[in-house]
Amino acid sequence: MAEASIRDEYRDLGRRRSGPWVRRAILLIVLAVPVLALAGLAGQETKRTTVQGPAATLTMSSPSTVRGGLLFQTKINVVAHRDLAAPKVVLDRGFLDGLTINTTEPGASQELSRNGRIVFDYASLKAGEQLTVWIQYQVNPTTVGSRTQHLELDDGNTPVATIARKLTVLP
């Protein structure tokens, strides 16, 4: 009788009834991650933020959620309402920590540092003129979490417009 129960256990896999369902559940969880990413639910959707002031309108288009290791672009648009003698685009640490800037177009006439912030200096803008800056990034693969990004438009050393928003980096 013991021989028959051993034979049934190995032949019919009596103890392993839940095994296939556990494997299927794990496979579905692993499969869900790329499906959610393809559906756009795991970052990279571009969000647009606009601030309008008496001197200029400042717009930033950039994802608010990104994934580690991926490339993305931030587009900064400035429309002058009055003459801006020395427009400067100022990026705080939220634009730099855990992110690598691959390129910035158009290149600034000067790149300066101001208290840990990067300052891009551009030629003067007359009222009605527009400046568009594209910054291409790569998210460092080990970066995870969220940070606040402060974007500032200055005329010389005088702030004209400021955008503050949150960037979340998913693993």
Domain coordinates of the chain in residue numbers?
2-38, 46-170
CA distance 102 to 99: 9
What is the tens place of the pLDDT at every residue in 76-92? 999 999 999 999 999 99
1 pLDDT more than 60: no
130, pLDDT greater than 90: yes
Query: What pLDDT shows up at residue 2?
Result: 62
- Please tell me the distance from the alpha carbon of residue 163 to that of residue 79, in angstroms, as a whole number: 15
pLDDT tens for 28-84 read 989 887 887 777 666 678 899 999 999 999 999 999 988 888 899 999 999 999 999
Q: How far apart are CA 69 and CA 81, in angstroms?
A: 38
Question: Exposure string (b/e) for 107-141, b if CB count within 10 Å is 16 or more?
Answer: ebeeeeeeeebbbbbbeebeeeeebebebebebee
Q: Where in 26-157 does DSSP place strands (E)? A: 46-52, 56-63, 65-67, 71-80, 87-91, 99-105, 110-114, 117-121, 130-139, 145-155
pLDDT at residue 32, rounded to an integer: 86
pLDDT at 15 over 70: no
Q: What pLDDT shows up at residue 4?
A: 61
Round to whole Å and give the CA distance between 22 and 108.
Answer: 56
The predicted model scores a pTM of 0.76
pLDDT of res. 167: 93
Q: Choose the weakest-confidence range: 4-8, 18-22, 35-39, 163-167.
A: 4-8
Q: Does domain 46-170 have CATH number 2.60.40.3670?
A: yes
Residue 133 binned pLDDT confidence (cut-offs 50, 70, 90): very high
